[in-house]
Chain A
Amino acid sequence: MSQDYPLVAAQTMIHAPAEELKLRRRGRGRRGLHGADRIVVLLMVAIPTFLVLALVWFPAVSTVLLSFTSWNGIGGLGTIKWVGTTNYVNVFTNYPPFTPAIEHNLLWLVCLFVLATPLGMFLAVLLDKEIKGSRIYQTALYMPVVLSLALVGFIWQLFYSYDQGLLNAVLGTHIDWYGDSNVNIWAVLVASSWRQVGYVMLLYLAGLKGVDPTLREAAAVDGSGETSTFFRIIFPVMRPINVIVFVITVIESLRAFDLVWVVNKGRNGLELISALVTQNIVGEASRIGFGSALATIMLVIALVFITIYLATVLREEK
């Protein structure tokens, strides 16, 4: 289908006959480039590609390979020993923090999905109407998006602190919100959702602006109420945005790290896979193979959703 495009463009050019244009178009392939142009194009692609391959994809593949080995990370590459799936067996059977970490990552995902995403979407729908001061509301809601999650952890400490926090002062409770392993994951999730809502709202506001207004009008003419119009017509039309928000939410829940790391380096109730990976490498233990197995699990989950994402955005490409 996309091949039609140059022909459409060709019609606007009066003088060039179709055949000549076709030739020139083919000429834009690599074969048509000569001398300096060819080298320039090659460099323009090769340098960034090399950087991304060397610093992202090569490490990704290496992580998968290392996950089947045993290595202390200090000795040379020759000291790497192949151990098969031992590391994975250990992760699943012999590593107490793994189960809570998986649970927390899933909880993170569910929380962002059940709380932050619907709230963000709902606010986007409200703000998409022509109301006075819409901009002010929007600004207030997505202000937290510009703050780093590490900083968010600090700002919320003013609420959560045991002896100086606002929550305990107002509620009259005596809870160490960040320290108590029964509640700290919820405390962190509230802070994280606070930031996520604005982000989701922003994406949906953009999505709603892109919806053909005639759809809404047609529905209104048919006597469809606002709510049913949204769920039956608008929401399905925003499918690409829905997929993107879905994938971003999954990836963000998987990559969540900064917030728990600034609170307590991901221990004592705040275990997350990302923090476990880091602990195994940066910490004193330096268990490379084992850490790689954890990292590979993350990688595989991420790749599934990245594929969904790419399939959506690149399909639109055509």
Chain B
Amino acid sequence: MDIKKTIRMSKIAEYLIVFVMITAAVYFLIPLYVMLVNSFKPLSEIRGGNMLALPRAFTFAPWKKAWATAQIGVQATGLRPYFINSVKIVIPAVLISTLMGAFSGFVLAKWRFKGDTIIFSLLLFGCFIPFQIVLIPSARVLGVLRMAGSTQGLILIHIVYGLGFTTLFFRNTYANIPTEIIQSAQVDGAHFMKIFTAIMLPLSAPVIVVSLIWQTTNIWNDFLFGVSFGSSRSQPMTVALNNLVQSSTGVKEYNVDFAGAIMTALPTLVIYIASGRYFVRGLTSGSVKG
């Protein structure tokens, strides 16, 4: 429905709407603006000046410090090693959970069997559980698997708790592909893997992008698992940022905190800007199972 063509509006009403929309945009942009301008100010300018003002003595020092020398926990490593930890967790976890979701979504959509709806419901419910309910046993199991505090442990956890969403994405997409295509391929002698790689995958580019973006955003932004199961050698960026901001030793360097916050936000923001359409699709299919 295109209401723009249906409703006749006076010029005043149209301007009023634009004004309200710009006001709302300012409200949404203020935190980003505050982080950005203050990350380029020397500390004295934040303490002595107006947070909304542009930097007078423009400096990159807070960025350098946040990246390379700031005190995170007990070590003055900056956020760099934690950024690398996050990358090391995100890439394999995103790829594996997407691949597994593609397979299980395909089977649940096109290789129906008795009880498949129950299995799908159980997978879906797993998307919504409060992770507090699995923290204690997860910690035990990672310990038993000798993965406590390791990057591998966090990868495993993120794969497992992403499967519900990835399965959902692929199942809903594949359910809309006519079963006749698969049946005629079977008549031609194509087997399961052949059908999957030759028929389903070529039709899957959009849903793969949705799944990759959804998983990357969720895993990059995770804090609870990172803080519960990470150690100083595997903690993700979000945990390090929180340590930086909460640290109470010495002078509080707001500009370094802001630079660190932008570094943490940047990867997912870039993905969002580059592929907003798929981000939106993930959000809607993550909520409306239609």
- A is bound by B: no
